[in-house]
Structure 1
Amino acid sequence: MNKTSYTVTVLGFDQALASAITGALDVFAFAGVSWQRIHQLPTTPFFKVQLAAAHGLPFLCSNQVTLTPNIAIEDVSHTDILLIPTIGGNIDDVLNDMHSQLIHIKRLQKMGADIGANCTGTFLLAESGLLDNRVATTHWGYADKFSAMYPRVNLQPEKMVTEDDAVFCAGGGMAWIDLSILLIERYCGHQVASDTAKSHVLDVSRTTQTIYASSRQRRAHGDNDIVAVQSYLETQLGTKLTLSDVAAKHNMTERTLLRRFKHACGMTPWQYLQSLRIEHARKLLETTHTPLEILVNSVGYEDMSSFTRLFKKLTGMSPSQYRAKFKRVV
């Protein structure tokens, strides 16, 4: 980007998450400012920020705080970036209430704006159709609902941030931080983004949501027989199992079990069991001082190296790194 000042517009609406709005506005507004103030250097604000809403009217956020916009979304004729914050209330109600406003998301995208959405705000972006045939992410806890509602979207819920042809999505909760810093880097370069993150004491090294996700979310598929298999696997974390054992216990052939399980959960029973074991290992790393060798055996693994490779693949860090980051201090 070769301009020196860019406009960021955040779209506000009833039941939006206030922190995802005000936090993003703060981070962009202080790019080129906070680091410079700390080091007693001349400030150079890179972004003009504004809050827009339907008809320019105040709106009530999910925490019962009312925010007053700077401008009506109908009057926004240009913005470099349009951000859609988290839906903090009932998703279906907000989608219904915001249906008439989707035209402005599409209008600004056609005019060249980068469009970004955070967490469940990605539902609004998908509802507009702008995510059709594009890569996206959303809060890991709502991935099943998202996939069911928007099958044309290439959803990758393990990712913290996605970008596809200047349409950006961020994962759960506070992932607006990751998205904001990514966009600051896109417009102002790595150094400004890094300085902004450091001045706000932000951790922007996160690339995956899998360290926060629960495997037990994959139950909204409606196949009660597979739910029973899932419940059984959750009780067998330290047991040596074979596919034939699991299939026989649930009165299925191995082929039928594989087919139905993969259709329902998007993975094989073995992959699901692996994710459960890694999830349990995470909890033990967070809450106990159990030596790693004993912990590995308690979740059904005998080989430390293979467990470590799998743990790192699924969480993005080694078991020791995970314990250091998430161990609860009592």
Structure 2
Amino acid sequence: MNTTEFTVTVLGFNQALASAITGALDVFAFAGISWQRIHNLPTTPRFKVQLASHLGQQFLCSNQITLQPNIAIEDVSHTDILLIPTIGGDIDDVLEETLPLRVHIQRLQKMGADIAANCTGTFLLAQTGLLADKAATTHWGYADKFKAMFPNVNLQSEKMVTEDNAVYCAGGGMAWIDLSILLIERYCGHQIASDTAKSHVLDVSRTSQTIYASSRQRRFHSDKDIMAVQSFLEKNLEKKCTLSDLAKQHNMTERTLIRRFKNACDITPGQYLQSLRIEHARKLLETSSMPLENLVSTVGYEDLSSFTRLFKKATGLSPSQYRIKFKRN
């Protein structure tokens, strides 16, 4: 049996999300231990974990808990994994305050460390330049801000986790779970990762964060005419509406409508309408027992099978699977 102990360093800073720090440290620290204890087997720790900060100073997390690091990031000469947690405070303020950390992220990457960032921590990673021309993800609610700040990054915000040349990113705030289990599998194999997930009762089947996203994120623009189009579609999502009718109603040509809509929302009017319908269907699946046949017509579709294909493509789950997972009792 390979009993090599790998080192995981979590990088702390003021206004970091405490759960993304302590939770990840716990999961890595218990790899090779928790499952074994449950089954009365010999324990073999697989990771040495440590918390680092600028000059080894205490830092105040976004929930007002103060954490004491084990080491100064300046003194970390080797780590197999460097994990950057979620930014829980104002992103711009945190990026300015953490400027001294960037050189050490770059230094450890050059020394062979896997670099991983969770949720909005990907903003700090991107500012080092290590995500340039690489695939990345971030919290779906901050995707537009990320794209505006880092246009040279291949942002894939629908994904829960991305990996590109040993640089890892995870999506929403609790996606450190998916990221940690993925990295445990990378270093220790599938069985250890699976055992760790099961012992902590972690759901690691999530591959997409689109099931959590909202079409409201497409409202963050300044084109008032396109906002009017969006409002019309939101109020009439169950009705048939051709692109020609939509353009005439808002005093535009079809070509102008498509161009301005894509500039403002990064998708076409048809794609936006589909996202509205899928989101409305999600709400109905969560809050009602409406039969699927009735639900489909309520959100503007006629054929159950084609709706099911669209819904699964958008969320990663069939409508019935989504209802089972998210139905509110």
TM-score, L = length of structure 2: 0.98
1:58 paired residue number:
58
Task: Output the amino acid matched with 1:170.
Answer: A
Q: Cα deviation per residue 1:94-131 (whole Å; 9 max; x = unaligned)?
A: 00100121111111001000000000000000111111
Q: After TM superposition, what 4+ stretches of structure 1 lie above 3 angstroms from structure 2? A: none
CA RMSD for the aligned pairs? Answer: 0.8
Deviation at 1:222, TM superposition (A): 2.4
Residues 3 and 44, structure 2, Cα contact 8 Å, conserved in 1: no
Matches of 2:18 and 2:33 in 1, distance apart? 23
Determine what percentage of the aligned residue pairs are the same residue.
79
1:210 maps to 2:210: yes
SS in 2 for 1:181: helix
In 2 relative to 1, CA 203–193 (structure 1 residues): closer, same or farther, beyond 3 Å? same
Q: 1:111 & 1:232 partners in 2: Cα distance?
A: 54
SS in 2 for 1:173: coil
Query: How far off its partner does 1:219 sit?
Result: 2.0
CA distance in 1, matches of 2:221, 2:148: 9
| Residues 10-62 of structure 1: per-residue CA shift (max 9 Å, x gap) | 00000000000000000000000000000000001000000000000100000
CA apart distance, 1:3: 7.1
Partner of 1:159, secondary structure, is: coil
| TM-score, structure 1 normalization | 0.98
CA distance in 1, matches of 2:232, 2:256: 17
Which residue pairs with 1:261 in the alignment? 261
Count how many residue pairs are aligned between Structure 1 and Structure 2: 328
The 1-side partners of 2:22 and 2:184 are apart by 16
Q: Which runs of 5+ in 1 are unaligned?
A: none
1:122, 1:170 → 2: CA distance? 8
Output the CA distance in 2 between the equivalents of 1:10 and 1:115: 10
What code does the residue aligned with 1:143 have?
Answer: A
- The match for 1:313 is 313
Q: C-alpha separation between the residues in 2 aligned to 1:227 and 1:131?
A: 32
- What amino acid is aligned across from residue 113 of structure 2 in structure 1? A
What is the aligned partner in structure 2 of residue 67 from structure 1?
Answer: 67
Q: What's the CA shift for 1:169?
A: 0.2
- CA shift, 1:306, in A, is 0.5
One-letter code of the match for 1:290? M
Counterparts in 2 of 1:125-136, with a 5 A limit? Answer: 125-136=125-136
Partner residue in 1 for 2:276: 276
Question: Letter of the aligned partner of 1:210 in structure 2?
Answer: T
Larger CA deviation: 82-91 vs 221-230: 221-230
Q: Distance in 2 between matches of 1:141 and 1:219?
A: 11
Structure 2 counterpart of 1:235 = 235
Aligned equivalents of 2:293, 2:305: Cα separation in 1: 11
Match for residue 223 of structure 2? Answer: 223
